[in-house]
A and B are shown apart, each in its own frame.
Chain A
Amino acid sequence: AQSVTQLGSHVSVSEGALVLLRCNYSSSVPPYLFWYVQYPNQGLQLLLKYTSAATLVKGINGFEAEFKKSETSFHLTKPSAHMSDAAEYFCAVSGTGANSKLTFGKGITLSVRP
Chain B
Amino acid sequence: DTGVSQNPRHKITKRGQNVTFRCDPISEHNRLYWYRQTLGQGPEFLTYFQNEAQLEKSRLLSDRFSAERPKGSFSTLEIQRTEQGDSAMYLCASGKSSGTDTQYFGPGTRLTVL
> Is A43 within 8 A of B42, CB to CB?
no
> Is A44 within 8 A of B41, CB to CB?
no
How far does the Cβ of B5 sit from chain A's closest Cβ, in whole Å? 10
> Is B43 within 8 A of A104, CB to CB?
yes
In the assembled complex, the Cα of A34 lies from the Cα of B107 at a distance in Å of 18
Query: Contact mask B69-112 → A, CB, 8 Å, 1/0?
Result: 00000000000000000000001010101001111111110100
Q: Is residue A63 contacting chain B, with contact meaning CB distance below 8 A?
A: no
> Is A44 within 8 A of B48, CB to CB?
no
With contacts A100-B31, A101-B48 taken as known, whether A94 is within 8 angstroms of B101 at the C-beta atoms is yes
**B50 and chain A: residue at smallest CB distance:** A98
> Is B45 within 8 A of A43, CB to CB?
no
With contacts A102-B43, A104-B43, A105-B42 taken as known, whether A44 is within 8 angstroms of B101 at the C-beta atoms is no
Which of A92, A98, A106 makes the CB contact (< 8 A) with B40? Answer: A106
Near B by CB (< 8 A), chain A positions 67-101 give: 90, 92, 94, 96, 98, 100-101
In the assembled complex, the Cα of A44 lies from the Cα of B102 at a distance in Å of 12
> Is A106 within 8 A of B108, CB to CB?
no
Q: Is residue B21 contacting chain A, with contact meaning CB distance below 8 A?
A: no
Of residues A42, A43, A102, A106, which shows the largest number of chain B Cβ atoms within 10 Å of its Cβ? A43
Q: Which residues of B contact A45 (CB under 8 A)?
A: 105
> Is B91 within 8 A of A43, CB to CB?
yes
Q: Which residues of A contact B100 (CB under 8 A)?
A: 32, 49, 51
> Is A90 within 8 A of B102, CB to CB?
no
Near A by CB (< 8 A), chain B positions 17-47 give: 31, 33, 35, 40-45
Which of B55, B97, B107 makes the CB contact (< 8 A) with A43? Answer: B107
In the assembled complex, the Cα of A84 lies from the Cα of B108 at a distance in Å of 22
Query: Contact mask B44-59 → A, CB, 8 Å, 1/0?
Result: 1100100000011000
Q: Which residues of A contact B103 (CB under 8 A)?
A: 46, 100, 102
Hey, which bits of chain A sit against chain B, CB under 8 A? 4, 9, 32, 34, 36, 41-46, 49, 51, 90, 92, 94, 96, 98, 100-107
